[in-house]
Amino acid sequence: MAEPFPGEIDVETARELMLVGVGPAGGEGTPLSQALGRTLVEAVRAERDQPLFDVSAMDGYAVRDRTAMGPLRIIGESAAGRPFMGAVAAGESVRIFTGARVPEGCDVIVQERARRSNDEVSFEPGSADRSLVRPAGGDFRAGAVLIPPGVRLDAWRLALAAAAGAAQVVAAPRPRVAILSTGEEIVRLGSRAGPAQIYDSNGPALSSLVASEGGRALPLEPAGDDEAAIAGAVADAACDLIVTVGGASVGDHDLTKPALRRLGLTLKVETVRMRPGKPTWFGVLEDGRRVLGLPGNPASALVCAELFLRPLLRAWQGSTPWPTLGRAMLETPLAAGGPREHWMRASLRNEAGVLRARPFSDQDSSLITVFAKADALVRRPSGAPAAAAGDLIEHLPLQRL
């Protein structure tokens, strides 16, 4: 096995070093209408019981004696928002509708089992059903913690917060992420690329990832292969994290780290024992802003964004930064692994309840088409033995819309 590159560390250690000191800086009141995708730093508690009183699950009739067949006199009506507040005696009934308050001591008989004649109603034998009454507090009780801190709000959780009476929530501030693509060959979308140039695909992809995790992306104008230009591009960026793309290796045109040393860069991670993405690095500027340096090849950049940028964004907002890896059955054999941990783009499919993974045959780090087709990243540990079809392997599912 080849000797590790000087300064190389494994993926897990690199991620741990990047996450040191990263967490939410307080919280900010956020109207519920603007809270989608935000992460709570304070729990959402129920303002009152839900429902506040026993309510009917269906349209029908409220009766005191569930064995009564009638005829019973109809003495009133209970509808959602217009409850019947009187007492119901033996021989009486109240017309009731879904979501309406059930009079005290009553059960509900569904209307399909009732026969009404003017102001009287009769029922089929055994019609009353207590399951048609939703009990007070059956959903939640006043004061209960409904959504704990560290949870990210989706549409369903927003509905729960609204039902609890939370007009606003206290959420973690959105991390501000400046994104800088470097290299003379990079052209921003909307410009015309020359024969020796390529369009910036990493910038839009990383901006979208940041937004999908609740952050605020701040795309910067691409910088060429010039130390002063790179340093100048980020010097005044009002952000918490700078993500640079390209210029991360050790070639003559890899100038990102030398450029940021002008701003007091201290390296925490020099290089990572992984494939693709070995040149990934991480550091802190003199003013406290953190910097994640990603390789320029799109697959390398996006793999490392999944493994490092996404966890950083989650940790910044107080949620669990790293998911549990899934397991799937390998569909094709794989050769023994090399000295670096390998994260392979793969497709997933579910066959009769068994999740199966098929790594793509071409794992070239420049291929964006392969990444666009992938459902997961299959993890091959450093020095992994050959794997046969049918073996179980670890994988990180990719978030697809």
CATH tag for 326-397 (out of 2.40.340.10, 3.10.180.10, 3.20.20.10, 3.40.50.12500): 2.40.340.10
- Residue 172 and residue 195: Cα distance in Å, rounded? 45
What's the pTM? 0.85
pLDDT value for 184 = 73
Encode pLDDT of 27-60 as tens digits: 999 999 999 999 999 999 999 999 999 999 999 9
> Which is nearest to 247 in space by CA: 280, 220, 288, 287?
280
Q: Residue 349 phi/psi, 5° resolution?
A: -150, 150
CB 292 within 8 A of CB 243: yes
Domain boundaries, the chain: 8-25+174-316, 28-49+152-171, 55-134, 326-397
- Which position has the higher pLDDT, 71 or 196? 71
Encode pLDDT of 288-335 as tens digits: 999 999 998 899 999 999 999 999 999 999 999 988 899 999 999 999
pLDDT at 140 over 60: yes
Topology of domain 8-25+174-316 in CATH is Molybdenum Cofactor Biosythetic Enzyme; Chain A (3.40.980)
pLDDT value for 1 = 43
Topology of domain 55-134 in CATH is Molybdopterin biosynthesis moeA protein; domain 3 (2.170.190)
pLDDT at 251 over 60: no
Q: Is the peptide bond before 24 cis (omega within 30 degrees of 0)?
A: no
- Which position has the higher pLDDT, 178 or 69? 178
Cβ neighbours around 100 below 10 Å, total = 24
CB within 8 Å of 68: residues ≥ 6 apart: 90, 91, 123
Q: What mean pLDDT do residues 14-29 have? A: 94
> Which is nearest to 17 in space by CA: 302, 311, 301?
311
Residue carrying structure tokens 């508690």: 45
Average pLDDT, the chain: 90
Query: In residues, how long is the chain?
Result: 401
Output the CA–CA distances (angstroms, integers) from residue 93 to 26, 64, 89, 116, in the order listed.
55, 8, 8, 11
Predicted confidence band of residue 399 (pLDDT cuts 50, 70, 90): confident
Regarding beta strands 326-330 and 281-284, do their DSSP bridges make them parallel or antiparallel, or are they unpaired? unpaired
Output the CA–CA distances (angstroms, integers) from residue 23 to 38, 208, 255, 311, 315, in the order listed.
14, 21, 30, 11, 5
pLDDT at 5 over 60: no
pLDDT value for 68 = 75
pLDDT value for 252 = 47
CB within 8 Å of 211: residues ≥ 6 apart: 217
Does 55-134 match 326-397 in CATH topology? no
Encode pLDDT of 51-90 as tens digits: 999 999 999 999 987 777 779 999 999 999 999 999 999 8
pLDDT at 2 over 50: no
Predicted confidence band of residue 250 (pLDDT cuts 50, 70, 90): low
Q: Which of 120-129, 200-209, 239-248, 294-303 has the lowest mean pLDDT?
A: 120-129
Q: What mean pLDDT do residues 107-123 have? A: 89
- Residue 244 and residue 292: Cα distance in Å, rounded? 6
